[in-house]
Amino acid sequence: MPADSETLDTVRSVTQSGYKWGFETDIEMDVAPKGLSADTIRLISERKQEPSWMLEWRLKAYQAWLAMEEPHWARVEHARIDYQDIHYYAAPKKKPGPKSLDEVDPELLRTYEKLGIPLKERAILAGVEGADQDGYVEGSGQIAVDAVFDSVSVATTFRATLSKVGVIFCPISEAIREYPDLVRQYIGSVVPVADNFFAALNSAVFTDGSFVFIPKGVRCPMELSTYFRMNARNTGQFERTLIIAEAGAHVSYLEGCTAPQRDENQLHAAVVELVAMDDATIKYSTVQNWYPGDAEGRGGIYNFVTKRGACLGARSKISWTQVETGSAITWKYPSCVLLGEDSVGEFYSVAVTNNRQQADTGTKMIHIGKGSRSTIIAKGISAGRSNNTYRGLVKVLPSAAGARNFTQCDSLLIGQECGAHTVPYIESRNRSAKIEHEATTSKIAEDQLFYCRQRGLSEEDAVNLIVNGFCKDVLKELPMEFAVEAQKLLAVSLEGSVG
Amino acid sequence: MNAILETGAAGFLARYEALLGRLPGDSTLRAAAADAFRTLGLPGATRGRRAEAWKYTTLQPLGGMSFGSSGPPPAIALPNAAARLVFAGGAFRADLSTSVPGFARFADQPEFGELSWPDRDPMVALNTMLAEDGAVLTIPNDRDAGIVFLVHAGIDGTSAHPRHMIRLGRGARLTLMELFEGEGCYVHNPVSEIHVADGAVLTHVRMQTESTAAFHLATIYAAIAEGGTYDSFTLNIGGRITRTEVHTVLDGAGAVAHLNGAQLLTGSQHADFTSVVRHAAPKGTSRQTVKNVLAGQSRGVFQGRIEVARGAQGTDGYQMNRALLLSPDAEIDTKPELEIFADDVKCSHGATVGELDPEQLFYLRSRGIPDSEARAILVRAFLAEALDPVTNDTARGLLEDAVARWWEGQA
């Protein structure tokens, strides 16, 4: 059974024609002129009312970027990107910094309504009146949301509830003004300005993003979520996220993304930095559903993202979970630097590519601390004429005695025109470290199908079951709210695909 | 001879200039290879971006050395075999060899073949530029040629660039036992091209016990036709820096490739086993198990790629790399790659890195076996397993002796 047509259909419906987030919102925008220069950066910094150290930091990044070359080692192909043909700043014009959702342009609210995720809890959002009464009900499983529209954070919910326990959750532009010491201490500490081409670009021009600070011993009372949407034409989105979990703190953070359907490509170059102190835990989940382009590969987002977490403290833990279904090109390697003794890094990933999509994604686990452990589970599903690559590094330095890694990468191919690739790098310089890596590539096995069919399941239900099982190890890591969303996005939900 | 010797890449190029007009074979091809080598240089010895294929191996030490082409031959023990071809410092030694049917000297019958990429692989460019001799071995259809020994003796202060062409006709069989030995500091830079025709079987066993001051930089290209088998095993024990690069193409339906190996390293040795298995036709099978045992400050490298071309349906590929780190300063770098463009395939790879299993040690200790002996038993078991794929008794015997000698040297 080389290419099950129903499965293909489902993948197609999810990743192409089913891109129901492809609308554009007509909102008056404040847009900077196209092009990147020191002046553009000064303009961004000025609009954001940033302190001078931030501007200097940006300019330093810009200087570094000028000396760098666009990387081409990933298995992705694209037309040359003209970095001077992009607007580096675009903001909804009317109220650039609203304090509550009521102040937000109704057009924008309608946009979120259309998006359905994760702001779909309209009741919750309606409850957001002022800073003090944010309608949070203890134990109700509600989520605090920071919504970022093109370059600007438009609304953050539940801030009052969060501030009661000392949690700071706000747009990073606000954090730069309100908590400059915290930001200054940590920004660029995990991903230095000159880390790589796209990180340097982001450092120079990032416009907004989320800032999270969880103080010592606090378990964040709710899931935190950021919603990214790229709306304006010819813009790039360069958000920057910084999450700091002090000793014993615990936070679960969700990230979702969409963009309008367009013929041209748009650039998304984000940087995410996580810092975990002693016994702290950060769980970072992403459902990435940027516009993937059409069946012929026209349009779609170039998703070039640098995500890295530093497990600074003993027994700290950083866990990345990602479900990648969107973007024309994904170039993304959420990583963990395991400095703390007995620190833990995890990476759970499902990447689905279809049509002409290209995904080159994976992780890096750098073991420095004694007894540090990491787990990597990556599932790739390729369909259509897409290419899906897992690229990862497990590195054990001499100091990491007793380090432990387990890696499993599985690829599933649907159709004869796609490609699935696995490129793991394993480097060990400590004999007491134990590393295990395994990777498989296969189609849905005849005997598995036969087994299910024999027990009375339809062919499609059987495929459902098998593909669901294929991704289960990753999906179960997602918070409930996202797991539902992810299953919809994935080909594996397969609802209505029985032919 | 010039008073001042050029070193590194310049030294090799100077030698090429000096030999111009006297080298056998296609001079245009050599000139192109020289141009490529001038551009590519010795990996790691010239500035600029490192090629991904040479990520973990540098030939930087070669940059400051120069090598001649002749010297007094080393005293090595030759295998007592009916079919034996001996090359010392890259030159054929008729006096030490026996008569082997189907054999011709590269010097008399130069053939560069069509599988190699001198424009891409620096070591192949170097060989193509300087090759003076080698074995051209042709086994006719349906002939079982038994076992042939190909012995390379390294001479101190020289660099040797032998060029071999091995052709097996339809249904032919051959066991090719290659030995690499030598004394002092020298370079062995052989390039072999192998063609296995329909239904032919080549068992290729390579035993590298070079001097620990030597550089062993070997490249093998093999093409396997329908139903043919290329069954290879490489044991790397010697050498200061070793690079074994194998490119195999399964050209015909149902072709089989085995690229097994073991590397036993100590001191500051560095050995890199790099391989590419390309499934270009349907229903091919490839198997690869490479084991590294690393003592001292040695560094083992394994880079293995399985490629499945579009249309190569029914491919079955498997690759396993295991490393045992015996000392705190040893290092292993592993990069097993899968590149798949067909859906009806079964491909998997695995890699493990670790020290001796404490549970296994405990099991032995609990039965009254002293610690040092328990460790010895476990390492020997790991090594014995590495040799399992070699089924030819003669070859297996030689490999086991070499492994046993290595292990005795560690104690």
Mean pLDDT of A115-124: 42
Mean pLDDT of A342-363: 92
B75 and B190 part of one domain: yes
What pLDDT shows up at residue A297? Answer: 78
Record: contact B349-A438, CB cut-off 8 A: yes
- For residue A159, give its domain range: 5-493
Mean pLDDT of A216-236: 78
What pLDDT shows up at residue A132? Answer: 33
Chain A contact present for B316, CB below 8 A: no
Please tell me the least confidently modeled range out of A174-178, A257-261, B158-162, B350-354: A257-261
What pLDDT shows up at residue B104? Answer: 97
pLDDT grade for A16, boundaries at 50, 70 and 90: very low
What pLDDT shows up at residue A476? Answer: 83
> Is residue A2 predicted with pLDDT exceeding 50?
no
Q: What is the mean pLDDT of chain B?
A: 94
More confident residue, A81 or B331: B331
- For residue B384, give its domain range: 358-411
Q: Name the residue facing A428 among B339, B345, B353 (closest C-beta).
A: B353
Record: contact A431-B354, CB cut-off 8 A: yes
Record: contact B332-A428, CB cut-off 8 A: yes
What pLDDT shows up at residue A470? Answer: 83
Q: Looking at the 3D structure of chain B, how many domains does it have?
A: 2
What pLDDT shows up at residue A26? Answer: 62
> Is residue A287 predicted with pLDDT exceeding 90?
no
Structure tokens at A496: 């209505």
pLDDT grade for A296, boundaries at 50, 70 and 90: confident
Contacts of B346 in chain A (CB under 8 A): 440-442
B238 and B364 part of one domain: no
Mean pLDDT of A368-377: 97
What pLDDT shows up at residue B76? Answer: 80
Record: contact B347-A442, CB cut-off 8 A: yes
Residue B123 covered by a domain:
yes
Per-residue pLDDT tens for B337-358? 999 999 889 999 999 999 998 9
Q: What is the mean pLDDT of chain A?
A: 81
> Is residue A11 predicted with pLDDT exceeding 50?
no
Q: Looking at the 3D structure of chain A, how many domains does it have?
A: 1
Residue B318 distance to chain A (closest CA, Å): 9
What pLDDT shows up at residue B306? Answer: 95
> Is residue A54 predicted with pLDDT exceeding 70?
yes
Residue A498 covered by a domain:
no
Record: contact A426-B337, CB cut-off 8 A: no
Residue B15 covered by a domain:
yes
What pLDDT shows up at residue A261? Answer: 62
More confident residue, A304 or A16: A304
Q: Name the residue facing B349 among A429, A439, A442 (closest C-beta).
A: A439
Structural Rg of chain B based on CA atoms: 21
Please tell me the least confidently modeled range out of B2-11, B25-34, B291-300: B2-11
What pLDDT shows up at residue A29? Answer: 66
Chain A contact present for B328, CB below 8 A: yes
> Is residue A113 predicted with pLDDT exceeding 70?
no
> Is residue B178 predicted with pLDDT exceeding 70?
yes
Residues from A contacting B (CB-CB < 8 Å) are 2-3, 73, 396, 398, 411, 413-443
Chain A contact present for B352, CB below 8 A: yes
Q: Name the residue facing A429 among B52, B331, B334 (closest C-beta).
A: B331
Query: SS3 of A14, please?
Result: helix
Residue B349 distance to chain A (closest CA, Å): 5
Structure tokens at A144: 């605090």
In DSSP terms, which residues pair with B152 in a beta bridge?
B87, B180
3-class secondary structure per residue, chain B:
CCCCCCCHHHHHHHHHHHHCCCCCCCHHHHHHHHHHHHHHCCCCCCCCCCCHHHCCCCCHHHHHCCCECCCCCCCCCCCCCCCEEEEECCEECHHHCCCCCCEEECCCCCCCCCCCCCCCCHHHHHHHHHCCCCEEEEECCCCEEEEEEEEEEECCCEEECCEEEEEECCCCEEEEEEEEEECCCCEECCEEEEEECCCCEEEEEEEECCCCCCEEEEEEEEEECCCCEEEEEEEECCCCEEEEEEEEEECCCCCEEEEEEEEEECCCCEEEEEEEEEECCCCCEEEEEEEEEECCCCEEEEEEEEEECCCCCCCEEEEEEEEEECCCCCEEEEEEEEEECCCCCEEEEEEEEECCCHHHHHHHHHCCCCHHHHHHHHHHHHHHHHHCCCCCHHHHHHHHHHHHHHHHHHC
Q: What single DSSP character describes residue A81? A: P
> Is residue A441 predicted with pLDDT exceeding 80?
yes
pLDDT grade for A105, boundaries at 50, 70 and 90: low
> Is residue A185 predicted with pLDDT exceeding 90?
yes
Closest-approach residue (CA) in chain B for A408: B350
What pLDDT shows up at residue A293? Answer: 80
What pLDDT shows up at residue B71? Answer: 83
Residue B353 covered by a domain:
no
More confident residue, A161 or B295: B295
More confident residue, A454 or A499: A454
Mean pLDDT of A378-389: 89
Contacts of B334 in chain A (CB under 8 A): 424-427, 437
Q: Name the residue facing B354 among A417, A434, A442 (closest C-beta).
A: A434
**Pairwise CA distance, residues A388 & B250, whole Å:** 24
What pLDDT shows up at residue B4? Answer: 60
Q: Name the residue facing A433 among B52, B348, B354 (closest C-beta).
A: B354
What pLDDT shows up at residue A108? Answer: 58
Mean pLDDT of A298-321: 94
> Is residue A17 predicted with pLDDT exceeding 50?
no
Mean pLDDT of A256-272: 76
Residue A197 covered by a domain:
yes
Residue A10 covered by a domain:
yes
pLDDT grade for A33, boundaries at 50, 70 and 90: confident
Please tell me the least confidently modeled range out of A96-100, B30-34, B289-293, B383-387: A96-100
Record: contact A418-B336, CB cut-off 8 A: no
Residue A310 covered by a domain:
yes
Among B1-15, B109-123, B380-394, the range with the most confident prediction by mean pLDDT is: B109-123
* Boundary of a domain, candidates B190, B223, B252: B252
> Is residue A217 predicted with pLDDT exceeding 80?
yes
> Is residue A335 predicted with pLDDT exceeding 70?
yes
In DSSP terms, which residues pair with A304 in a beta bridge?
A331
Q: Name the residue facing A442 among B310, B326, B345 (closest C-beta).
A: B345
Residue B126 covered by a domain:
yes
Contacts of A431 in chain B (CB under 8 A): 325-328, 330, 354-355
Residue B343: closest CA among B318, B319, B308: B308
Q: What is the DSSP string of B191-203?
A: EEEEEE-TT-EEE
Q: Name the residue facing A416 among B342, B346, B353 (closest C-beta).
A: B342
Residue A256 distance to chain B (closest CA, Å): 30
Record: contact A439-B336, CB cut-off 8 A: yes
Closest-approach residue (CA) in chain A for B307: A421
What pLDDT shows up at residue A118? Answer: 44
Per-residue pLDDT tens for B51-79? 889 999 999 999 999 998 888 878 888 88
Residue B265 covered by a domain:
no
* Boundary of a domain, candidates B201, B233, B252: B252
Amino acid identity of residue A356, one-letter, is R
Mean pLDDT of A254-265: 69
Chain A contact present for B226, CB below 8 A: no
Contacts of A396 in chain B (CB under 8 A): 353
Backbone angles phi, psi at A285, to 5 degrees: -115, 140
Helix (H) or strand (E) holding A282: strand A281-288
Closest-approach residue (CA) in chain A for B56: A427
> Is residue A38 predicted with pLDDT exceeding 80?
yes
Runs of H (alpha helix) within A132-179: 159-164, 172-178
> Is residue A154 predicted with pLDDT exceeding 80?
no
* Boundary of a domain, candidates B252, B279, B304: B252
Among A287-296, A320-329, A490-499, the range with the most confident prediction by mean pLDDT is: A320-329
> Is residue B378 predicted with pLDDT exceeding 80?
yes
pLDDT grade for B366, boundaries at 50, 70 and 90: very high
Closest-approach residue (CA) in chain B for A387: B341
**Pairwise CA distance, residues B70 & B386, whole Å:** 36
Q: What percent of chain A has pLDDT above 70?
A: 75
What pLDDT shows up at residue A262? Answer: 61
Residue found under tokens 């630097």: A337
pLDDT grade for A207, boundaries at 50, 70 and 90: confident
Q: Name the residue facing B353 among A418, A435, A442 (closest C-beta).
A: A435
What pLDDT shows up at residue A266? Answer: 81
Residue B263 covered by a domain:
no
More confident residue, B297 or A6: B297
Residue A189 covered by a domain:
yes
Residue A499 covered by a domain:
no
Record: contact A427-B328, CB cut-off 8 A: no
What pLDDT shows up at residue A475? Answer: 82
Record: contact B335-A430, CB cut-off 8 A: no
Residue A263: closest CA among A239, A285, A218, A293: A293
**Pairwise CA distance, residues A267 & A323, whole Å:** 19
